[in-house]
Chains A and B, each alone.
Chain A
């Protein structure tokens, strides 16, 4: 049973570019959340997707957008990249009806130059 998988693991972009990060949730999970974790900081909630719709959103600008597909996988898109977007982007999945644990992927390390 595969856990949460994310791709790519590492990537380097330049300011102004756009990036797409991908996430496949753990088998049986229908809810995907994205987090941004800057170096030395705690994960910051970006948004949560359930039934292909954004259900909750954290304090992030519209440059951050997402999508959830019918197979529950998800993408995070960031436009007009800034140096401050450099971070580890974590995807987490759970079953919405279960108020328990989040299962995290290994993350995508984004560096913006």
Chain B
């Protein structure tokens, strides 16, 4: 099955610093979704990327899908304490089954 790894596993940043998490797959992906899970909460959908090389922005968040559709990244500019949580990439595969990566836990220090 699909193996999706995310790096780093943990990241501590000072408020105002930038943050990036990377998602790498051993196989070519049809599309990839990103979710955020706050501590004690449930995953919440952020975005879906479908096209090779696609870049999408949501305010301070920038999402990118690699040209080979085997990797993706999420970049947050000028982190805020509200960005705290775990970020998961989640490829959507056969019959739209969505599997989750290993996640990157972000801690923002005020």
Contacts and interface: CB of A to CB of B under 8 A. Distances in A.
B45 A101 contact: yes
Interface in A92-111: 92, 94, 96, 99-107
A102 B97 contact: no
A43 B94 CA distance: 18
Nearest to B93: A56
Nearest to A33: B98
A48 B93 CA distance: 12
B62 to A, nearest CB: 19
Given A59-B1, A99-B48, A104 B95 contact: no
Contact of B95 (A56, A100, A106): A56
B42 A104 contact: yes
Nearest to A3: B42
Interface string A33-69: 1010000011111001000000110110000000000
A100 B96 CA distance: 9
B85 interface: no
Given A43-B100, A45-B98, A90 B43 contact: yes
Q: Chain B interface residue count: which class? A: 20 to 34
Contacts of A99: 31, 48, 92, 96
B67 to A, nearest CB: 21
A112 to B, nearest CB: 20
Nearest to B98: A102
A48 B96 CA distance: 9
Contacts of B98: 33, 45, 92, 102
B96 A42 contact: no
Nearest to A96: B96
Given A42-B101, A90-B43, A100-B45, 18 more contacts: A35-B100, A42-B86, A42-B88, A42-B102, A43-B88, A44-B100, A45-B97, A55-B95, A56-B95, A92-B43, A94-B96, A96-B96, A99-B31, A99-B96, A101-B33, A103-B45, A104-B42, A106-B42
A56 B97 contact: yes
A107 B102 contact: no
Contacts of B43: 43, 90, 92, 102, 104
